[in-house]
Structure 1
Amino acid sequence: MREADRRTALGSVWLRDEPEPTRNRLSRDDIVAAAIRVLDRDGLDAFSMRVMAAELGTAATSALYWRIATKDDLLELIVDAVLADALVETDGDWRDQVTDVLMAAYQALWEHPWAAQLLPSHAGLGPNYQALTDRVQSILAAAGFKGMHLDSAVSAVIHYLIGSAVADSAWLAVVRRSGLNELRWASKSADRMGVDAAHLAAYLSRESTAGPEARFASGLRVILVGLRPRQIF
């Protein structure tokens, strides 16, 4: 197998060995941290390996491509890095514990909305994503969920997290592309959408009791209230 093919085999950075260290001190973690900084500043549309090379400096360009072979590899790494903030300590009953974990994950994705845009194509195999799923599974298993019912319950809450984060980041992306803040965008867009401007502004505002974070918490509670431990194999 050619070296170029070996470094991109199996379609995911998480299914391949990390390259051996070089004399350049730039680590994979350094590159991931720089990529998050660039994405927070410039957004996903402007992101490229060329931009990353410029951010890191010409002396580090060769280390970038040795450490991380492709843009897709880098995107996988940074999405998983963002999800590290979801690995929080929890207490209370099982519903409270699942809520704490999922709210932490949602908030991390809200802080980095480009990460939510990448979830459908660049998440699932990383250690933090797996740890998040395992954490939810262990909470539900301790509560008495078993077998296929356990698997279905885990899927229900994780898929709700991903779907909500993707949908809410899509709204935010539209507003940001307009160059307007949420209130001005809502006032200019509401008539075209056939909705009330105040309601649209509240729907978009994180601080609003009708906003995305409040809606996510409310919807999660609906799902968790509907779940009951039972034994199905």
Structure 2
Amino acid sequence: MARAANDKTVLGSVWLREEPERTRAPLSREDIVETAIKVLDRDGLEQLSMRRMAVELGTAATSALYWRIANKNDLLELAVDAVIGGALVETDEGDWRDQLTALAQAAYGVLADHPWAPQLLASHAGLGPNYQAYTERVLGVLNSAGFKGVHLDAAVSAVIHYVVGAAVTDAAWTATVRRSALTERDWPTAAGDQLGVEPDTLAAYLSRDDLAGPAARFQSGLRAILIGLRPRQLR
């Protein structure tokens, strides 16, 4: 028999519930989320727990943690949306392709800087205000460019799904290297033989600074998508 939802879990998302009322607790929800992001950046997604957060925040703040944020899933939703907020850049210059390039690069950049975040986008819907604002920015650029109707929806999906998909793929490689306990320099050498790939080739494929690396591949793929998009109405 399915467990009945309570007021802390109803509708499956922190964004679909009222935020707890203000109290005299020493920490705000924003303070807690900021600490969670630091822990996630430092230790990775697998190491985050509410117990770990209580330790990070200090004994005096434990009650504030559970008053402000009910459970780990809520905390992860809040953290990933906070990261997406870094992608809300200004796009006043250039044509619509230039503006979309700026938005796509910004989102890819913040997701690459926080590789745990794209992992969450596969299981936590983009219901937060920053994710919604980002989607609205992309939609607004395309709408102003003349995309209408079904084609507008398809174009928005093409851009956002490409950004998220590229970030998720890169994050999967990062997570694999992290789990190996090897350094980013040593892992290609150790894994190259198993994969049948030269270590230098594999290292270049994984390096964000290499011309054959994920950032360069992202740029090339984004250009291909934007060149292929044309303002028109699908019937």
TM bucket, shorter chain = over 0.9
Which position in structure 2 is the counterpart of 1:107?
Answer: 109
DSSP 3-state at the match of 1:32: helix
Instruction: Say how many residue pairs are matched.
Output: 230
Write the letter of the residue equivalent to 1:188.
A
Separation in structure 2 between the aligned mates of residue 105 and residue 216 of structure 1, nearest angstrom: 12
DSSP 3-state at the match of 2:211: coil
1:40-69: CA deviation from partner (whole Å, max 9, x where unpaired): 111111110000011111111111111110
Residue 153 of structure 1 is aligned with which of 155, 169, 176? 155
1:76-114: CA deviation from partner (whole Å, max 9, x where unpaired): 000000001100012211111101101111110111101
Give 4+ residue runs of structure 1 displaced > 6 Å after superposition. Answer: none
Q: Residues 79 and 123 of structure 1 are in contact (CA less than 8 Å); yes or no, is this contact kept in structure 2?
A: no
Deviation at 1:217, TM superposition (A): 1.1
Runs of 5+ consecutive residues of structure 1 not aligned to the other structure: none
Which position in structure 2 is the counterpart of 1:188?
Answer: 190
Separation in structure 2 between the aligned mates of residue 122 and residue 53 of structure 1, nearest angstrom: 23
Separation in structure 2 between the aligned mates of residue 203 and residue 80 of structure 1, nearest angstrom: 28
Separation in structure 2 between the aligned mates of residue 156 and residue 147 of structure 1, nearest angstrom: 15
TM-score calculated relative to the size of structure 1:
0.96
What CA RMSD, in Å, does the superposition of the two structures yield over aligned residues?
A: 1.1
Which position in structure 2 is the counterpart of 1:61?
Answer: 62
Write the letter of the residue equivalent to 1:121.
S
DSSP 3-state at the match of 2:122: helix
1:37 equivalent to 2:75? Answer no
**Aligned ranges for residues 1-233 of structure 1 at < 5 Å?**
5-90=6-91, 91-232=93-234
Write the letter of the residue equivalent to 2:53.
M
DSSP 3-state at the match of 1:145: coil
TM-score calculated relative to the size of structure 2:
0.95
Write the letter of the residue equivalent to 2:27.
L
Identical aligned pairs, as a percentage? 67
Runs of 5+ consecutive residues of structure 2 not aligned to the other structure: none
Write the letter of the residue equivalent to 1:213.
A
